[in-house]
Amino acid sequence: MKVVLVIPARFQSTRFPGKPLAKLLGRPLIQHVYEQTRNLKVVDRVIVATDDERIKKVVEGFEGEAYLTSNRARTGGDRIAELAQRMKAELFVNLQGDELLLDPEMLVPLITLFRKKKSLLVGSLMRSIASEEDFKNPNIVKTVSDREGFALYFSRSPIPFFRDRPNNFPLKSVYQHLGIYIYRRQPLLEFSGWPTGILEDFEQLEQLRFLEHGYRIKLLETRVVRFGSIHQKILRPQKLF
């Protein structure tokens, strides 16, 4: 079963235009993300999917593989679906191009699970939220799941709401969604053909498009620490950009 890890990378970001090419320790961010994933044994191929020739050129400059997509892709998932139309892999993993501080080893159990259970179609990762500040931060996406570990919803709002304990909620009961996805090829192609969902538009969370169309998203809890082995240098006190 072929597994392709795809790193979507846009140049025109609202908050930080050109972020994939920003230098950190003398190398562009996209290179750090690429190099920390290409040695994963559960992945057959790593590709950067971008709509910008500058990013493609930089990736090829460090001997990475890049695919130039159209500029019409609405989300990273749509960008990967465009690549999947031309590639016959069974599983596609979506790792955002700015996820520099994710330890790639957290991908291994998720990919292994999908290799074994072919009934699973779409999946992602979550982990316990560490602080009330994170729980209330709209930039940190929260999720809730059913008893079988399938997502019920994703939101930028604090979910669930602890009605009887508004100021003293159990942090171990709340989860952060990590922006990593795994898809089988057919659901991914269907995803790109659907219009943007109402909830997806409200929350600006692409995974809600799957939920709005009745797909179940399997969530796997990870306890892998966020910082990978290469990050001791990165986390030293310094100006990163």
Question: Nearest CA to 110 among 119, 122, 99?
Answer: 122
Looking at residue 169, what is its pLDDT? Answer: 64
> What count of Cα atoms within 13 Å lies in the side-chain half-sphere of residue 107?
28
Q: What global pTM score does this model have?
A: 0.87
In a domain, 239, yes or no: no
Q: Which domain holds residue 184?
A: 3-234
pLDDT attached to residue 231: 45
CATH number of the domain bearing residue 158: 3.90.550.10
pLDDT of res. 14: 58
pLDDT at 239: 39
Interatomic CA distance for residues 21 and 83, integer angstroms: 22
Q: Is 236 left (phi over 0), alpha (psi -120 to 50) or beta?
A: beta
Secondary-structure percent of the chain, ordered helix, strand, coil, rounded to 5:
30, 25, 45
pLDDT of residue 70: 87
Count of domains for the chain: 1
Report the distance separating Cα 161 and Cα 159, nearest Å: 5
Q: Which tokens go with 103? A: 């330890």
Residue 241 lies in a domain: no
* Inside any domain, residue 119: yes
In the chain the first and final C-alpha atoms are separated, in Å, by 39
Taking only the tens of pLDDT, the chain with its 241 residues reads: 799 999 998 876 656 666 788 887 888 889 988 988 888 999 999 999 998 999 999 999 999 999 999 888 899 999 999 999 999 899 999 997 666 557 888 999 999 999 999 999 999 999 999 888 999 999 999 999 999 999 999 999 999 988 776 666 666 779 999 989 999 999 999 999 999 999 999 999 999 999 999 999 999 999 876 544 444 444 333 333 3
Note whether residue 152 is domain-resident.
yes
| Residue 91 placed within a domain | yes
Can you give the pLDDT at residue 171?
67
| Per-residue confidence (pLDDT) for residue 227, from 0 to 100 | 47
Residue for token digits 């179940």?
216
Residue 240 lies in a domain: no
In a domain, 192, yes or no: yes
